[in-house]
Structure 1
Amino acid sequence: MSGKVENIVWHNSSIAKIERHEKNKHQSFVLWFTGLSASGKSSVANALAHTLFEKGKQVYVLDGDNIRHGLNHDLGFNEQDRKENIRRIGEVSKLFIDSGQIVLTAFISPYREDRDSVRKIVEKDEFLEIYVKCSIEECEKRDPKGLYKKARNKEITQFTGISAPYEEPLEPEIVLDTEKFSIEQCVDQLIDALNAKHLI
């Protein structure tokens, strides 16, 4: 391991992040959507991405299921693999930020420590934790993929909220209550928050 580190040298980009900001006319950052399965993370993230794209912003969504089809196809759902899943996504998000883009991540990311570890690898104000708040009861009612039913029947183990823990954010930058508000209303709340922070 140490040999690998010793033989790797960081190469600075010929284009500075600030230059990308100036060209794109917006800051680059990650909105880290966290919440239970079926809380609405992907739906809100993709709706926001479309709105930002229509406004001429450089934006991309990293979705939990999609990432597990490729980059993280070798990971399972035990605690160690979940941590590695988030670590990798954090590093990918950092690259997107460096490229001047807005990155929206939709991952359950159940552990506070893992979410905080991503916050620490980017600069101040480049990480906004978005808690997509929705009760386990409502998520089970929605259950679009039938996962809660399988988890209750013990066909799926290590399922967040049922047989594995979810640690709610203690001080998220934004809370979206998807039981009270529609996807469109949540997007409006996010746009208002980003404007208030002068990020877009």
Structure 2
Amino acid sequence: MSSNLTWHQTTIKKEDYRKKNAHSSGVIWLTGLSGSGKSTIANIVNQKLYEKSLQSYVLDGDNVRHGLNNDLGFNDSDRQENIRRVGEVAKLFADSGTIVLASFISPFQSDRDQIRQSLDEGEFIEVFVSCPLGECEDRDPKGIYKKVRNGVIPSFTGIDSPYEEPSNSEIVVYTNQESEEESADRIIQLLKDKRWI
């Protein structure tokens, strides 16, 4: 980073946005294997927040790679840079008073921890969307696992590239045992318990 850069202080602060919105803000980070249900759950939670007239937004892995991160591949270093950039964007959203739902495989614990540490205390909720690999592969909503097994996609998380399960997430939802709606309701309840909403 250049030593000639200075952070520009704005007149309207995070607390002002929160007061205007009448709720807290922060990052809800959904992590799990491809096909575990992260994006579906994030969208359900977002819909429920929208219906309550709360300010929220979904950052989705595939969507971000269409634009902001379309220059990145899928090797370990590119995956880490993908998550670093998304973490910075999510932090800006949180600063604007928005509840951010970030849905990313984000396979490395250190990357998720780095985002947590970049935010103020209590502004990061890690949601482990737990689902056995076999179940994710059976679902295969995007046909990705089939391509991996046919050798079309190399270095895929959970198959031949590691996924580090969260060791201390705020909540674990088990999408092979509960519906996505039930998982979303549990996340909403956690937001109430933490007084975000």
Tell me which interval the TM-score lies in, with the shorter structure as reference length. Answer: over 0.9
Deviation at 1:155, TM superposition (A): 0.9
Identity of aligned residues (%): 55
Deviation at 1:152, TM superposition (A): 1.2
Partner of 2:59: 62
Partner of 1:128: 125
CA distance in 1 between partners of 2:90 and 2:189 (Å): 23
CA distance in 1 between partners of 2:108 and 2:121 (Å): 21
Q: CA RMSD in A?
A: 0.7
Deviation at 1:195, TM superposition (A): 0.5
Partner of 1:163: 160
Partner of 1:84: 81
1:45 aligns with 2:42: yes
Runs of 4+ in 1 over 6 A off after TM superposition: none
Q: 1:151 aligns with which of 148, 166, 170?
A: 148
Counting matched residue pairs gives 197
Q: 2:110 aligns with which of 107, 110, 113?
A: 113
- SS of 1:76's partner is coil
**TM-score, length-normalised on structure 2?**
0.99
Query: Aligned AA for 1:145?
Result: K
CA distance in 1 between partners of 2:119 and 2:107 (Å): 20
1:100 aligns with 2:108: no
Q: Deviations 1:90-123 (Å, cap 9, x if unpaired)?
A: 0001100100000000000000001001111110
Unaligned runs of 5+ in 2: none
Query: Aligned AA for 2:191?
Result: L
**TM-score, length-normalised on structure 1?**
0.97
1:178 aligns with 2:175: yes
Partner of 1:14: 11
CA distance in 1 between partners of 2:192 and 2:6 (Å): 38
Query: Aligned AA for 1:18?
Result: E
Q: 2:32 aligns with which of 21, 30, 35?
A: 35
